[in-house]
Structure 1
Amino acid sequence: MSLPPVKTRERLSEVRYEIRGELARRARELEGQGRKLIKLNIGNPGAFGFRAPEHLQRAIADRIADTDPYTHQQGLPQAREAIAAFHKQRGTPNASPERVFVGNGVSELIDLSLRALLNPGDEVLLPSPDYPLWSAATILNDGRPVYYRCLPENGFLPDPAEIASLVSSRTRAIVLINPNNPTGAAYPRELLEQIVAIAQRHKLLLMCDEIYDSILYGEAKFEPIAPIAGDLPCLSFGGLSKVHRACGWRVGWAVLSGDPVASGNLHHAMDLLGALRLCANVPGQFAIEAALHGEDTIAPLCAPGGRLFEARRAVIESVDQSRHLRLVAPAGALYAFPAVTGAAAEGFDDHRFALELLETEDVLVVPGSSFNVPYRNHFRVTLLPQPDDLREVFRRVERLLDRYAQADAGAQAAVA
């Protein structure tokens, strides 16, 4: 007798995460057949030869004998002290160890904080494009994502007037991703001040994903939002995975700033949820103090001659030489978000393009629509490969887009 299939949560049908989805599964199949792929779908430094800095590795190794027990649900006291001190240096109001939460990466803390905040039907204002975990966590915690546009013609920066127009009686929070994934936009202070003013006017929580805070190029500057927000409750997210190239350690943190009385209920809710999962990964927490108060190892990688800077240069120059692409140059983070234009863009579908690029050119990218945008002519690449590898990627992209443009020209000629 056959058993009926196990039913799963209906809202999962609304969740997308193509970064590790269907295309990534097809890539594994092709690799199983012996194909050598260039995979640009995940911002995973260790997969491209980067290593976590040695002084962080030593910090864990020196304390490995102390990592067996559970720790406090909010994290190791010395780790939270180091995070609070780092935020005090930035000017974060009311930054204290008691208001720091350490989690298994920022991903866990995004889910935990939204679970603490949302009742069914509550709304969260999210950027479009967004990192899709934010949408997924909102949906799976019974909230409703409401998107404000970050348009390429505006440098992928949001319009505060549009954000204000989207606020309703059910809105609970405004989410910012700065520097942005997938676009690399870095938000100027004046823009952040306008968004803070909206949140203050409507008594909204600010949630700022700042995991790429020190990955900046050229004259770009990172502006933390908590000092601007002042007494307004604000959650600032950071971690070791990107700036410190330690993704697998799963160490992230959230700092709850602003008026402690106004945010007291949220603090207690997050503490309860943290306790239910006992604690975060302990060994990685011993690296936090060394990461935040030790040697700066990311700035040289982002400066001219540094690997990330030169990878970004390779992408910019490749797009400049392309007949079919345009790009808003990323100011920060680990990604570029090119657009397909002209004849190659006629009838273009980003998912079909990504699949064909994988099948015919052995390159894996993420379709732009995976980041919750209404248009379908963008794709995301990571800047982590060697610069020459990225130049080769864009030669292959150009070959495929040439075929698209030629097909369009043939169709136009047939009509004529």
Structure 2
Amino acid sequence: MSGSTKITPAKRTANVTYAVRDVVVLAQQVAATGREMLYLNIGDPNLFDFATPDHVVDATAKAMRDNRNGYAPSSGIPDAIKAIRHDAERNGITNIQDIFVTTGASEAIEVCMSALVNAGENVLTPTPGYPLYTAVLAKLEAQEVPYYLDESNGWQPDIEDIASKINSKTRAIVLINPNNPTGSVCDRATLLGILELARKHNLMIFADEIYDKLILDGGEHISIASLDPQQPVITFNGLSKAYVAPGFRIGWGVVSGDKARVGDYVEAINKLLRARLSANHPEQYAIAPALDGDQSHLTVIKEKLSRRRDISVEMLNAIPGVSCVAPTGAFYAFPKLTIEMADEKFVQELIKATGVVTVHGSGFGQRPETKHLRIVFLPPEETLKKAYGLIGEFIGQFATVDV
């Protein structure tokens, strides 16, 4: 009977994976057995001892009570756009051509890629890097061309590797700074090297800077767009991380660069924004209070993260077969494993044996023949210490298993 024929999914979905969430399925199964679970896998600060600042919550609640619950302008409400512009300018970004608010920074990334990249063209993405880019490019039937970050150089992008991978079908370079999953922060020389390549080959730069306010050790974050006002760059950011509001789903994009070069592209972006109506409306009223208001919560967050980073690096590096470059931004570490077991298998067995949930490095990309874990060091110090103790015991038992 024709009515019993299976509905087949589109081929473009075949290569869409998301390692961060995929491990949760196994973790839920193990949790159902009653085992205590220690979650070091998802970068959601609200799951731990971090809270959305009161003035950010209050602004959203007031907007809801004031019945700001209809559709918003497709590019965002004026007060939000103004605050985003001021924040970008404080970061040294000038020659701004457009600003738009989206349903999380993820939507901004997807819209901007969709407006630029044709099927068969390619985009250079960092490896290790955030798997959203892989999923979006797969959906667009475009090619992802990974470039490597250099673990021996603090996970800085390898400029020579980037240069070697640019070809006639390359449309853009993705830069995640600070990086997820390594926690590295790009230095000025690296950023200038990327800019030089983008200028030479007429490429867009997609600058994912969602963790720009979470720089540890008093370090400096440099927005790549601030170093060349004429270079076409889209800088992505949002409320999710620094303002502890990932569930608000509020992000944005700031387009900067030569107006004559980006004008048609900006209009294409706005066509897609209009087609999807608008981002969440009442939550947009939190943007100006967040960016222009009290920032004292950031001091508290960074103090906690610095202590938890230090514990993580010290305890991980003390485990035989593990080495960890100290992250300088965000709240991720990407320790290297010297083991025979495949890292995905390692993560699965670790969950089953200990209840410690991490994410396999292969889910973010890594150099061939290397194995890593992504660890989120948001949990309280005692949770981290317990988890690292269990990881050490587990590696001592299973590190020589060849799968």
Q: Normalising TM by the smaller chain, what interval?
A: over 0.9
Q: Which residue is 1:411 aligned to?
A: none
Q: In the aligned structure 2, how far is the partner of 1:84 from the partner of 1:142?
A: 33
Task: For 2:218 and 2:88, locate their aligned partners in 1 and report how far apart those are by CA, in whole Å.
Answer: 23
CA contact (8 A) 2:123 2:170 kept: yes
Matching residue of 1:370: 363
For residue 379 of structure 1, what is the aligned residue in structure 2?
373
**Within the alignment, does 1:37 sit opposite 2:37 as a pair?**
yes
Structure 2 residue 279 is matched with structure 1 residue 280 = yes
How far, CA to CA, are the matches of 2:10 and 2:82 in structure 1?
Answer: 39
Q: Name the counterpart of 1:234.
A: 233
Same amino acid, percent of matched pairs: 35
Matches within 5 A, 1:16-415: 16-21=17-22, 23-64=23-64, 65-95=66-96, 99-303=98-302, 306-341=303-338, 345=339, 347-373=340-366, 374-405=368-399
Aligned to 2:156, the other structure's residue is in SS state coil
Secondary structure, counterpart of 1:262 in structure 2: helix
Once residues 352 and 86 of structure 1 are traced to their aligned partners in structure 2, the CA distance between those partners, rounded to angstroms, is 43
Q: Deviations over 1:275-321 (max 9, x none)?
A: 11100001111011111111114532355xx2211111110121232
Letter in 1 for 2:162: I
CA distance in 2, matches of 1:93, 1:253: 16
Unmatched 5+ stretches in structure 1:
409-416
Q: Quick one: structure 1 residues 249 and 55, their matched pair in 2 at CA, closer, same or farther if it must change by over 3 Å? A: same
Contact 1:369 1:375 in 2 (8 A): no
Deviation readout 1:223-254 (Å, 9 max, x if unpaired): 10111131111100000000111000000000
SS in 2 for 1:127: strand
Q: Pick which of 172-181 and 48-57 moved more.
A: 48-57
2:261 partner amino acid: A
Distance in structure 1 (CA, Å) of the matches to 2:296 and 2:281: 23
Q: 2-side partners of 1:217 and 1:87: how far apart? A: 20
Contact 1:217 1:302 in 2 (8 A): no
CA distance in 2, matches of 1:284, 1:367: 34
CA offset at residue 89 of structure 1?
Answer: 2.1
Query: What is the deviation of 1:405?
Result: 4.2
Q: What SS does the corresponding residue of 2:237 show, helix, strand or coil? A: strand
Residue 154 of structure 1: how far off its partner (Å): 2.2
Q: Deviations over 1:53-98 (max 9, x none)?
A: 01111111222224222111001111011101111222212236xx
Q: Cα deviations across residues 131-152 of structure 1 (Å, max 9, x unaligned)?
A: 0001111121121001111131
Q: Does the C-alpha gap of structure 1 residues 88 and 314 become closer, same or farther in structure 2, counting only changes over 3 Å?
A: same
Q: Do the aligned residues in 1 keep the contact of 2:239 with 2:251 (CA within 8 Å)?
A: yes
Note the aligned Cα RMSD (angstroms): 1.5
Deviation string for 1:192-235 (max 9, x for gaps)? 01110110111100100000001111142111011113111110
| Greater displacement, 159-168 / 127-136 | 159-168
CA distance in 1, matches of 2:341, 2:20: 20
Structure 2 CA distance for partners of 1:251 and 1:323, relative to 1, 3 Å: same
- Match of 1:14, SS? coil
Question: Deviations along 1:152-205, whole A, 9 cap, x unmatched?
Answer: 122211121221121111000000000000000100111101110110111100
TM (norm. structure 2) is: 0.96
Instruction: Name the amino acid aligned to 1:331.
Output: T
Q: Deviations over 1:243-274 (max 9, x none)?
A: 11100000000000011221111111111111
The answer on whether the counterparts of 2:242 and 2:298 sit within 8 Å (CA) in structure 1 is no
Are 2:321 and 2:337, in contact at CA under 8 Å, matched by a contact in 1? yes
TM-score of the aligned structures, taking structure 1 as reference length? 0.93
Pair 1:277–1:375, CA change in 2 (3 A): farther
Paired letter, 2:208: D
- 1:118·1:142 contact (CA, 8 Å) conserved in 2? no
Shift of 1:42: 0.7
- CA spacing shift, 1:196–1:298, aligned 2, 3 Å: farther
Secondary structure at the aligned position of 1:253 is classed as strand
SS, match of residue 391 in structure 1: helix
Cα distance in 2, alignment partners of residues 178 and 368 from structure 1: 18
Output the CA distance in 2 between the equivalents of 1:240 and 1:280.
13
- For residue 290 of structure 2, give the secondary structure of its aligned residue in structure 1: helix
Indicate if the aligned counterparts of 2:19 and 2:359 stay in contact, CA closer than 8 A: yes
Q: d(CA) in 2 for partners of 1:233 and 1:158? A: 20
Q: Provide the C-alpha distance between the structure 2 equivalents of 1:82 and 1:375, rounded to a whole number of angstroms.
A: 46
What do residues 103-153 of structure 1 show as CA deviations (whole Å, max 9, x unaligned)? 000111111111100111111011111100011111211210011111312
Higher RCO (Cα < 8 Å, 6 or more apart): 2
For residue 348 of structure 1, report the CA deviation from its aligned partner. 2.1
Query: Taking structure 1 as reference, are residues 367 and 376 closer, same or farther at Cα in structure 2, changes over 3 Å only?
Result: farther
The answer to whether the Cα contact below 8 Å between 1:92 and 1:226 also exists between their aligned partners in 2 is yes
Aligned residues: 399
Secondary structure of the equivalent of 2:173? strand
Answer whether contact 1:106 1:251 (CA < 8 A) is retained.
yes
